[in-house]
Amino acid sequence: MGSFIPSCSTILFQGDSITDTGRSRDDTSSLSTHALGSGYASMAAAQLLCNRAHDRLHVYNRGISGNRIVDLYARIRCDTINLKPDLLSVLIGVNDTWHGFVGNNGVDIPKYERIYRDYLHETLEANPKIRFVLCEPFVLRCGVVTEDWIAEMNQRRAVVKKLAEEFGAIFVPFQQLFDEAVKTAPPEYWAQDGVHPSAAGHRLMAQAWLSATGEE
């Protein structure tokens, strides 16, 4: 496939701690390693910016640790629409489950779908030409993850795939990626707590993201 990302694009990565990865809140430059964090978003951005230096791409990371879909939606104006992205990549969902099992503050599946769809609709209304990359939320069977999580996470993944089809988005199958990866090394190698990827895990994610968008 050809590239999904036109020249002169503004690319925005959104999500929770897996996207955040310690990014600076003070340095907002689209070329700064501090602004992009240390995870898959930064790794994918680095390759994009290097390989397409002539295309005047701008890349931003606005992931926030701990976010659920309701938190992402609450900041739609300041952290999505106001940045005027041409391409929006979203990875959100694990905290909607995690916070439910630990703290009784999760987001049930119907609400997750409804708010996620509203988020995409409102972003599309603000920029009818925007392109979406919707990333599959995932867990690995280790660390804090129990078997009780699995059925609910399966439903969240189905929601994201459905929304990707509905909005003509690129779908990045991160769960499938890690299901294959654990055949070569144990789950803890890829994400020690079952949620937050290791350096190797983030590298796998970056490669998958770039491949899905035609930038491999």
Active site residues: 17, 193, 196
User: Kind and range of the H or E element at 175?
Assistant: helix 174-181
Token pair listed for 27: 């340095």
Is residue 197 within 8 A of residue 18, CB to CB? The reply is: yes
Q: Is residue 184 classed exposed, middle or buried when 0-12, 13-18 and 19+ CB atoms within 10 A define those classes?
A: exposed
The whole-angstrom separation of Cα 55 and Cα 49 is 8
Is residue 62 within 8 A of residue 13, CB to CB? The reply is: yes
The whole-angstrom separation of Cα 56 and Cα 167 is 26
Is residue 190 within 8 A of residue 182, CB to CB? The reply is: yes
CB atoms within 10 A of CB 51: 12
Residue 173, CB-side half-sphere exposure with 13 Å CA sphere: 7
Residue tagged 């708010």 (tokens)? 115
Is residue 214 within 8 A of residue 44, CB to CB? The reply is: no
